[in-house]
A and B are shown apart, each in its own frame.
Chain A
C-alpha cells in the first residue's frame, strides 16, 4: 500500500476500533548532506526515509505511535496497540481538541531549481569555493572552517478522522558553519545558521557565500582587535538582527508556548513565567514592554526556514502577534491547548518527523521592524555598545533570566560606531528588563536560521531567528 492509502486506512481502522479521534501522518523525507572541514569532505550522504505516525484520542487519553513500514497488517497492529495503551492513561480530566474547520487541500514551497537537478559536483563545488575564499582572505586566522549543508525535501500527507486531509511538499536549504579563529593570546568561535524554504536558487539569490565570507572577516577583526572594557555605569546598547532574533525566540517565543504555560513540558523544556503574569489577568491585559515593541511569529513568511501554510493538525497558518504594541497579545496554540484556553488553534502544531507528536512550536519569530534606519538608532546613542552577533547564551526554564554574550561588538561614541571593538560584552537581563528597555526598532531586517529544540524525545524544528536592530536604553553590561 502507498503511504496515502495506508494513512486513510489507519484512520478508518482506528475509528472502527473505538478511537474518538485519529490522525495519521505519512512523511517521505530526502536529505542530501555535505559535511566538510577546511575544504575536505568528511561525509557526503543521501538519505531517504519514510514512515507513519498515528495519534489517537481514546476515553480522553492521548496515544501516539509510529512505524517505518508500509505493511497494512503491521500498521493495524500499531493502531490496536496505541489505542489499547492510550486507554491505560485513565485521565480524570479528559483531553479535548478545539473545534476547527475541516480542510482538504495541498501546499508546496515554490522551487525554481530542485535540489535533484543539481549535480553532486556542483554541490561539492559550492562548499569548496566558499572555503577557498575564506582561506584566501582569513586562512591564517580562521584555521578551522566547518560547513554543514543539508538539502532537505519532504512530502507529507496528514489526514484526520474529522475530515481534514492536507498534502505538502517542502524544500528546505540549510547551511551551518563553524569557524574557529585564533591569534596569539586570543581565540573566538563563530557558529552561523542560515536557511530558506527554496531550491538551489537560494544560494545565489540570497548571496549566502558573500554573507559567510563577510562573517569570516568580521570574526577575524574581532579576534584580532576586541579588548575587554569595564563599564561602571549603564549604557545604551544597540543589538543587531541576529541578537534581536535570539531574544525574540528565547524571551518571548518560548514562554508563549501554551503547553509550557499549562505545564506539559515541565520535566523537559520547562514551564513559562507567563503562568505568573496571567494570574488574574486576561492575556491582552499584560504589559510586556514599550509601545514600539511587537513580536510576531509568522509561519507564512515566504522563503523563511519555518515556513508552512497548514500546521500538523491541518489548521490554516497565519501570522501571530505574540506581543503587540507592548501588550501581550496571543499564545502559541495547538488544538489541545486551544481548548484549554477556550479558543481556537492558531496553527502552531508542528512535529519534525513521522516519529514525533505535534506540539506547539515557533516558526519564524521576530521583533516587528520599526521606522528607523540603523544609522538613526546609532545617532541617538551618546555612549554605548553595538552588539552585532553573539556567542554563548542561555535562559532559565521559565524563560525569564537570560544571558547573551556578544561576539562582534563595537563601542559607540557620540552617535557614531567607533573602531574600538569590545570583547565579549555580557547582557544578563530578565525578559521584562529587555522588553522594557527598547525604545527604537530599525526597519532593516537580518535573517538567520536555527534549529529549535523541545520535547522528549527531542524534536528540533527549523526556525528563523533573525530580526531588526533594537536600541535598548540604560543597560548594565557585564
Chain B
C-alpha cells in the first residue's frame, strides 16, 4: 500500500478548522481485500478490492438548545488538492443545514497514549493471496474426506490501515489483518453443515481451515436422512453461531440509537435482571484477535471494556460522547446529577444502509465493537448430557425477522444440521422447523452456558461475537402448516 499518506489527516483537520468548523475528525482508510468464493467444490470467482478514502466529519458551534450542525464528506483517492478544494465548501454548507439533535459534541480530552492490543496484524497477510486458492482446495478436500459430496463457501482476507486525527489532537494510525471463512458442506440437497473461521492470526490458518472443512463435512453427514420435525415446545441448545445471532439481537438494543427509534427490547430494563447469574456480557474493543478490536474509537477516545450484562442484570449501554450527554439530559431525573456523562469508546463512522454499497454515507454514531460473553461451566458433551427433556440442537440459522423489535418477538429459520436430543443423547437429525421466540423470555430461560468461546462473524452476524454454546429452556418450534 504505497500511497497511504497520513499527512493528509493534519491537512484535513487544519483546513476544516481554518475554514470555520468548530470540531473536526479526519479518518483515512486504505483497504486491500481479497475474496475467494467457491461452490460445488470448485472456485467460482476470485475478487480483489482496493479502497482508499478520507472521511471528514465537521461540526459547527454551540447554539442555544439541543443539537449542533454537522456535515460529513468522503474524499476517494484523497490528496491535498482535493482536500483544500472540498473541505471549505462543506464547512460553508453547515450554515444551510438544520441542527442534528443527536450531536452534542465530541471527546475534548487529550490522550497521549493508547492501549496496545495484541494480534491486530499478522504480516503473513501480505502474500496470502498466492496461497489462498490452495488453502480453499485443501479445505474442500478435508470436507469431502469427511463425507461431503459438494462444498460451498467463502474465504475473505485482507489488510486495513486506519489513521485518525481529531481537532483536539487525538488519534493515531494502526494496521489490521483479517481472514474469515464460511464453509458449507452438502451431503445431499437437504443435508448440510456449516463451520466458520474468524481470525486475525495466520500462524495456524492451514489447520483451522481444514478443520472447518472437516467439521462442516461431518455435520452434513450427520444431518442426512433427517425426519420431519414436530412443532411444539423443546429445550434448545444453540451453537455459538446461532447464539451470536439471537443474543446479538438482544445486545443490539443496548445502543441509545436503537432505544431512540423504538427498536430495542431493553428499553426500561436498565438495572433489571433479564437473565440468569451465568449471563455476563461485555462490549470489548480490547479483546486480542477481536475482529473489531482497536486502540481508539472514531473520536480518538481510548478503547475500554463496557459491561452490558452483569450476572443477568442489564447494566450498561454503549455510547459515544454525544449520546452519553443526550442520555444524561433525557434521563436527568433518574441519573445522579454529579455523574459526568462519558463515552464508552464506541464512537464509530457507521452507515445506515441507505445505498447498500461500500460508499454508503457514514455518520458519527455509537456502534458495538466485539460482544464478549463470559464463559460458563458446561462442556458441550456435558450440555447434551444434561438434556432430560426433548431438546433441539441448532448448528446454524438464518433469516431472523421481528414482528416487533421493541417487544423482541421474532422467528428464525434453522439451517444446516438440526438434531433432536433426548435422554441426554443426540437421537438424530430433524428438518423443516422454525424457531419462534421472545428475546427477553429466552434470556430469562437460559439454562446453561458453555465454557468454550468461539468468535462468530458471518453473513447473519455482523458484530464480532465471542460466545459459547448456550442452552435455553421452553422454546417454541413451528412448521409450515400446508
Contacts and interface: CB of A to CB of B under 8 A. Distances in A.
A402 B401 CA distance: 12
Given A187-B406, A391-B403, A31 B361 contact: yes
Interface stretch (B8-16, B41-49, B112-120, B248-256): B41-49
A370 interface: no
Contacts of B399: 394-397
Contact of B359 (A49, A178, A453): A49
A475 B353 CA distance: 36
Nearest to B181: A267
A387 B35 CA distance: 43
Nearest to A477: B481
B356 interface: yes
Contacts of A93: 42
Given A178-B261, A275-B189, A476-B482, A393 B401 contact: yes
Nearest to B409: A392
Interface residues of B, number: 88
Interface in B153-211: 153-154, 156, 182-184, 186, 189-190, 194
Interface stretch (B271-279, B294-302, B411-419, B466-474): B411-419
B410 interface: yes
A397 B182 CA distance: 16
B133 A88 contact: yes
A392 B411 contact: yes
A247 interface: no
B134 to A, nearest CB: 8
Residue from B52, B101, B356, B432 with most neighbouring chain A CB atoms (10 Å) = B356
A65 B48 contact: yes
A120 B275 CA distance: 48
Interface stretch (A1-9, A157-165, A422-430): A422-430
B331 interface: no
B138 interface: no
A355 interface: yes
Given A31-B354, A188-B404, A357 B45 contact: yes
Contact of A394 (B67, B156, B413): B413
A75 B134 CA distance: 27
Contact of B352 (A43, A49, A85, A430): A43
A49 B74 contact: yes
Given A64-B45, A66-B49, A266 B480 contact: no
A266 B186 contact: yes
Contacts, number: 265
A369 interface: no
B445 interface: no
Contacts of B51: 68, 355
A262 B40 contact: yes
B480 A352 contact: no
B180 to A, nearest CB: 10
Contact of B481 (A78, A271, A429): A429
Interface stretch (A98-106, A107-115, A317-325, A455-463): A455-463
B402 A29 contact: no
Interface in B412-464: 412-413, 415, 432, 434, 459
B127 interface: no
B333 interface: no
Given A89-B133, A180-B262, A355 B49 contact: yes
Residue from A81, A392, A433, A460 with most neighbouring chain B CB atoms (10 Å) = A392
B409 to A, nearest CB: 8
Given A65-B50, A266-B152, A478-B481, A41 B98 contact: yes
Interface in A43-89: 43-45, 47, 49-51, 61-71, 74, 78, 81-82, 85-86, 88-89
Contact of A267 (B153, B361, B403, B412): B153
Given A62-B45, A268-B154, A391-B403, A44 B97 contact: yes
Contact of A81 (B48, B137, B184, B361): B48
A458 B356 contact: yes
Nearest to B137: A90
Contact of A396 (B101, B186, B355, B415): B415
A210 interface: no
Given A355-B357, A429-B482, A264 B403 contact: no
Contacts of B132: 88
Given A68-B76, A460-B356, A88 B102 contact: no
B37 A456 contact: yes
A400 B97 CA distance: 48
B403 A392 contact: yes
A32 B146 CA distance: 52
A124 B98 contact: yes
A402 B480 contact: yes
A263 interface: yes
A85 B359 contact: no
B480 A429 contact: yes
Contacts of B101: 40, 42
B374 to A, nearest CB: 31
A420 interface: no
Contact of B480 (A143, A433, A459): A433
A47 B480 contact: no
Contacts of B126: none
Contacts of B50: 65-68, 74, 78
Nearest to B364: A43
Contacts of B479: 401, 428
Interface in B97-142: 97-102, 129-130, 132-134, 137
Interface stretch (A16-24, A146-154, A306-314): A146-154
Contacts of B459: 268, 456, 458
A358 to B, nearest CB: 11
Given A397-B398, A456-B459, A43 B363 contact: yes
Residue from B99, B400, B432, B480 with most neighbouring chain A CB atoms (10 Å) = B480
B34 interface: yes
B478 interface: yes
B96 interface: yes
A271 B480 CA distance: 19
Contact of A44 (B34, B67, B98, B478): B98
Contacts of A221: none
Residue from B34, B77, B132, B407 with most neighbouring chain A CB atoms (10 Å) = B77
B462 to A, nearest CB: 10
Contacts of A357: 45, 47
A267 B118 CA distance: 31
A428 B481 contact: yes
14 contacts: A41-B100, A42-B101, A43-B352, A61-B43, A68-B51, A89-B43, A262-B40, A263-B150, A267-B182, A355-B358, A357-B47, A392-B401, A396-B415, A460-B353
Nearest 6 CB-CB pairs, A to B? A266-B152, A460-B356, A49-B359, A180-B262, A69-B77, A394-B399
Interface of A: 29, 31, 33, 35, 37, 40-45, 47, 49-51, 61-71, 74, 78, 81-82, 85-86, 88-93, 95, 120, 124, 143-144, 146, 148, 150, 152, 178, 180, 187-189, 262-268, 270-271, 275-276, 352-353, 355-357, 391-398, 400-403, 405, 424, 428-430, 433, 437, 451, 453, 456-461, 475-476, 478
Interface of B: 34-37, 39-40, 42-53, 67, 71-74, 76-77, 96-102, 129-130, 132-134, 137, 150, 152-154, 156, 182-184, 186, 189-190, 194, 260-263, 352-359, 361, 363, 398-407, 409-413, 415, 432, 434, 459, 478-482
